[in-house]
A and B are shown apart, each in its own frame.
Chain A
Amino acid sequence: MNHQHSDALEKIRAMLEEILDLEGKEISEGTYLYRDLGAESMDLLELAVALNQGFGVKVQDEHVFLWRLRFYLVEARKNGTDALSHLAGKYPFLDSGRIAEILDDLDEGPVLKVKDIISYVEYQAGIIAGGRADGLSG
């Protein structure tokens, strides 16, 4: 884990602890936000505010929190496209290994993990550094 990466984890952990009023709960990259931490969508809206401010990146709620994931899967099925490549197009901040993992995990409940949020903010920061301030759109 590089230095920036662990910084991001630390920042997000602090945000989650504050927003969810958690004390002494282990939060790692593999922690599920809904399943492990009991987060609700309203909590994630507050997390988006914190991410915007803490990372200086433009956060789009429905992207970072994968809110349209299941809608995209239906879309892929309708269009006859491969789910993995369809999701890769929608979520460029997730690598194909993580997308495959998500596809295997769908039946267990909401799939969002802390590491997805780290991937998102790092990707967005890279875009800003690369001069594309608009980031992910629609």
Chain B
Amino acid sequence: MGRRVVITSFGIVSSLGSSEEVILESFRAGRTAFALSTFYPELPVCPVEGFNVRYYTGPCKELRYLNRGAQFSVASALAAIKHSGLGKDCLAKAGLFVGAAPNLDIGGEFPEIHDGKMDRDDLQALWILRFLPNTAASLISRLTGIRGENMTVCTACAATLQAIGEAFTRIKAGRLDLALAGGGNSSLSPGGLLAYKKLGALYSGEKGPALAMRPFDSERGGFVAGEGGGFFVLEELERARERGAHIYAEICGYGCSLDAFGMVAPAPDGESGRAAVLSALGEAKITGSEIGLISSHGTSTILNDEAEKLIIESIQGAGRPPVIALKSWTGHCAAACGAVELALSIILMKNSLLPEIRNLREPCSNKIDFIREPRTASFSSILIENFGFGGQNCALVLRGPE
């Protein structure tokens, strides 16, 4: 048997909470953070309230260079390391895999561009760092002492799940024994919201913030932008056992693919998405029918959910595993959605909880076991799916601790 890879620690910052206790309480109480944007009053958003990155870092002069997404990255990375108990001596050889999105908060940096003139007296000397996608990796490395193989992945909504998959692959292949993987993102700045609003991906209907996100529902009409971050300590199994680390889950399979189709819309037949899913299942030596839970991408857009429905119908087999859609709870964290949903999935598995897909009244498929009411049920394997702009598809398969 080859090398096996386990998750021994994680950190999450989300609109449902930033600790297992608070997140569970949010699920059980049906508590979400959906509200109307202050900037575009017609748009619902799902913010992380009261977040302060300094709470995680302490005094840190580099914070001035972090956009909000990078702040979520750094905060959740430090939370994961703190919880792991790993010291700087172990971390020097560790890898670092970060999923990130471009900073769309252009107006926050340049509130008054006239005739293309951007310079002004108080513009930071190193303002470029707020826009470079690897700024989070640089600071995480500096703060944790990680110096090993690394990569910043910018594959839109597949980015963080793919970063985690890449870390898994390298540990499995023996290139690393230890890695930190995940990422953060926020699309809630005026520039971020404008970007998704202009291309027509955001919900802007009349239903009100709490009812806007409705994955797989016949009345769905776009997503609600969210934000957050998550990071995971991935370790080779024997090494984790030797040091007596707590094992949350084993990553058993990873797949990624491209649609060769549109720059925004997913391929309607879902063929490439399906290939990524089958690749992850194949590596994990498990079938879709045997999977305990599917954490869908479920963006609540017409096109994604339609293509994803086809994928799930084609891989689920007779087992028809239950399907959840965590974006109905957090909004769409875009590049960070994989990390946030993986962390939430681990918490749900540990506590045998299946939260309902919020606002799913009229499912787009009657062949799929969508979770419509909260259930208590133990499950020991999870398939996580994320599909991003550009036709970027990613899937990860986890098993619970033995």
Interfacial residues, chain A to chain B (CB-CB below 8 A): 19-23, 42-43, 45-46, 48-49, 52-53
Is the beta-carbon distance between A42 and B125 smaller than 8 angstroms?
Answer: yes
Is the beta-carbon distance between B121 and A46 smaller than 8 angstroms?
Answer: no
Is the beta-carbon distance between B126 and A21 smaller than 8 angstroms?
Answer: no
Q: B123 at interface (Cβ–Cβ under 8 A)?
A: yes
Q: How many residues of B contact A (CB 8 A)?
A: 11
- CA gap between A22 and B63 in the complex, in Å: 12
Taking CB atoms, residues of chain A closer than 8 Å to B85 are none
**Chain B residue with minimal CB distance to A53?**
B121
Q: B122 at interface (Cβ–Cβ under 8 A)?
A: yes
Is the beta-carbon distance between A42 and B126 smaller than 8 angstroms?
Answer: yes
Contact string against A for B residues 92-129, beta-carbon threshold 8 Å, 1 for contact and 0 otherwise: 00000000000000000000000000000111111000
Other A-B pairs, 15, CB within 8 Å; known A21-B60, A49-B123, A53-B122: A19-B64, A20-B61, A21-B63, A22-B59, A23-B59, A45-B125, A45-B126, A46-B125, A46-B126, A49-B121, A49-B122, A49-B124, A49-B125, A52-B121, A53-B121
Interface pairs A-B: 9 shortest CB-CB: A45-B125, A21-B61, A21-B59, A53-B121, A20-B61, A46-B125, A49-B125, A53-B122, A42-B126
- A23 nearest CB across to chain B (Å): 6
- B75 nearest CB across to chain A (Å): 16
Taking CB atoms, residues of chain B closer than 8 Å to A22 are 59
- CA gap between A42 and B142 in the complex, in Å: 15
Taking CB atoms, residues of chain B closer than 8 Å to A21 are 59-61, 63
- CA gap between A43 and B123 in the complex, in Å: 14
**Chain B residue with minimal CB distance to A40?**
B61
Taking CB atoms, residues of chain B closer than 8 Å to A45 are 125-126
- Most chain B Cβ neighbours within 10 Å, of A21, A45, A48: A21
**Chain A residue with minimal CB distance to B120?**
A53
Interface of A is mostly: helix
Could you jot down 17 A-B contacts, CB within 8 Å?
A19-B64, A21-B61, A21-B63, A22-B59, A23-B59, A42-B125, A43-B61, A45-B126, A46-B64, A46-B124, A46-B126, A48-B125, A49-B122, A49-B125, A52-B121, A53-B121, A53-B122
Taking CB atoms, residues of chain A closer than 8 Å to B59 are 21-23
Interface residues of B in 54-76 (CB under 8 A from A): 59-61, 63-64
- B245 nearest CB across to chain A (Å): 33
- CA gap between A48 and B121 in the complex, in Å: 10
Contact string against A for B residues 122-150, beta-carbon threshold 8 Å, 1 for contact and 0 otherwise: 11111000000000000000000000000
- B138 nearest CB across to chain A (Å): 11
Taking CB atoms, residues of chain B closer than 8 Å to A23 are 59
Taking CB atoms, residues of chain A closer than 8 Å to B123 are 49
- B234 nearest CB across to chain A (Å): 31
Taking CB atoms, residues of chain A closer than 8 Å to B122 are 49, 53
**Chain B residue with minimal CB distance to A20?**
B61
Taking CB atoms, residues of chain A closer than 8 Å to B61 are 19-21, 43
**Chain A residue with minimal CB distance to B61?**
A21
- B57 nearest CB across to chain A (Å): 9
- CA gap between A42 and B60 in the complex, in Å: 14
**Chain A residue with minimal CB distance to B129?**
A42
**Chain B residue with minimal CB distance to A39?**
B61
- B152 nearest CB across to chain A (Å): 20
- B5 nearest CB across to chain A (Å): 36
Taking CB atoms, residues of chain B closer than 8 Å to A52 are 121
- B180 nearest CB across to chain A (Å): 24
- A12 nearest CB across to chain B (Å): 16
**Chain B residue with minimal CB distance to A43?**
B61
**Chain B residue with minimal CB distance to A52?**
B121
- CA gap between A43 and B64 in the complex, in Å: 11
Contact string against A for B residues 35-64, beta-carbon threshold 8 Å, 1 for contact and 0 otherwise: 000000000000000000000000111011
Taking CB atoms, residues of chain B closer than 8 Å to A49 are 121-125
- CA gap between A45 and B64 in the complex, in Å: 13
